[in-house]
Amino acid sequence: MIHKITITLYNEEVAPRFDLATEVLIMILSKGNIIEEKKTIVLPRSSADDLCYLLLSEKINTLICGAIEDEFFQFLKWKKIDVYDSIAGDWSRAFHCWSKKTLKSGDILSRRTVEGINV
């Protein structure tokens, strides 16, 4: 079974806001979450409507993004796209957590140092 996942990007991080994202990563995964194809698309402008259209036209199954307005969240859920929203941190870490089934909406995945210890 093929699975398509999209992560909104800002450099190497998950874009903080869905409606302001101008770059997305699309990965096509085969059984066992093996990455078969990976492509980055730079959008001509930030637009939540255009991004929703892209997700539907690419037949995306899962979206990982930062903050998203409820109107778009509900629309994508209605279109049967799994949405992990309010994710902060490195996109590759978000993907890793998703592939291990530990990603939850609202996860903050940024590494930080507390009293000299990386957490």
Strand partners, 84: 64
- Domain borders along the chain are 3-118
At the topology level, CATH places domain 3-118 in Nucleotidyltransferase; domain 5 (3.30.420)
Per-residue pLDDT, 94: 97
The pair phi, psi for residue 50, each rounded to 5°, is -65, -35
Q: Using one digit for the tens of pLDDT, what is the confidence trace for 57-96?
A: 999 999 999 999 999 999 999 999 999 999 999 999 999 9
Q: Using one digit for the tens of pLDDT, what is the confidence trace for 21-48?
A: 999 999 999 998 899 999 999 999 999 9
Residue 1 binned pLDDT confidence (cut-offs 50, 70, 90): confident
